[in-house]
């Protein structure tokens, strides 16, 4: 079964004490961990109606929640609004060539690594991402693996790669 969720109904945001705008938002899960989001599966992240990312989730601890472990990270890096975002060399080059993001200072000790494609996406959609209602533009679908208890991480990754090759989301890679 596929369920769709609006990001602004899953997370609240608040200004971080260690980030500077626009990389200054922390994401907090509304409610608590739920069984339907724990365990292996695949998720599709949308910006408005556009598919921007496909990810797989295969936690070692089956009690880990995809919303806390993966979806929040992807929204933070794709929106360029997360306080934990850092940039690799290609992302720094893209930032320096961007129209809207060239003056940002990233948290080099951040554990959410952004990429060139994500910088370009955020720059192209900065009108919607620069304000604190940016979460309202994101949604995700979660397909939990309930059918094959023996699925491996390698199998899930292969399925994800096939989906990426077919759908070609803007921010993968």
Q: CB under 8 Å to 95, separation ≥6 — which residues?
A: 87, 101, 102, 104, 106, 119
Per-residue confidence (pLDDT) for residue 118, from 0 to 100? 97
Per-residue confidence (pLDDT) for residue 91, from 0 to 100? 93
Query: pTM, whole model, 2 decimals?
Result: 0.94
Q: CB under 8 Å to 33, separation ≥6 — which residues?
A: 63, 65, 68
Name the stretches of the chain with pLDDT < 50: none
Residue 82 structure tokens: 């997360």
Q: Which residues of 47-77 are buried (b: 16+ CB within 10 A; e: fewer)?
A: beeebbbbbbbbbeeeebbbbbebbbbbbbb
Number of Cβ within a 10 Å radius of residue 151: 15
Per-residue confidence (pLDDT) for residue 1, from 0 to 100? 59
Per-residue confidence (pLDDT) for residue 19, from 0 to 100? 83
Instruction: Tell me the per-residue pLDDT of 37-63, one tens digit each, with 9 for 90 and over.
Output: 999 999 999 999 999 999 999 998 888
Per-residue confidence (pLDDT) for residue 109, from 0 to 100? 75
């Amino acid at each position: 079964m596929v369920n769709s969720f609006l990001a602004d109904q899953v997370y609240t945001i608040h200004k971080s004490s260690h980030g500077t705008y626009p990389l200054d938002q922390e994401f907090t899960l509304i409610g608590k961990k739920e069984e339907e989001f724990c365990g292996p599966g695949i998720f599709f992240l949308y910006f408005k109606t556009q598919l921007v990312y496909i990810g797989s989730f295969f936690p070692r601890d089956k009690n880990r929640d995809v919303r806390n472990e993966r979806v929040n990270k992807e929204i933070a890096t794709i929106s360029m609004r997360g306080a934990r975002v850092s940039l690799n060399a290609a992302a720094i080059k893209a930032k320096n060539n961007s129209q809207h993001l060239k003056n940002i200072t990233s948290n080099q000790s951040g554990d959410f690594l952004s990429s060139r494609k994500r910088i370009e996406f955020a720059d192209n959609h900065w009108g919607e991402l620069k304000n604190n209602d940016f979460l309202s533009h994101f949604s995700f679908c979660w397909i939990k693996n309930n059918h094959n208890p023996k699925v491996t991480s390698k199998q899930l990754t292969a399925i994800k790669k096939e989906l990426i090759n077919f759908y070609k989301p803007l921010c993968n890679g």
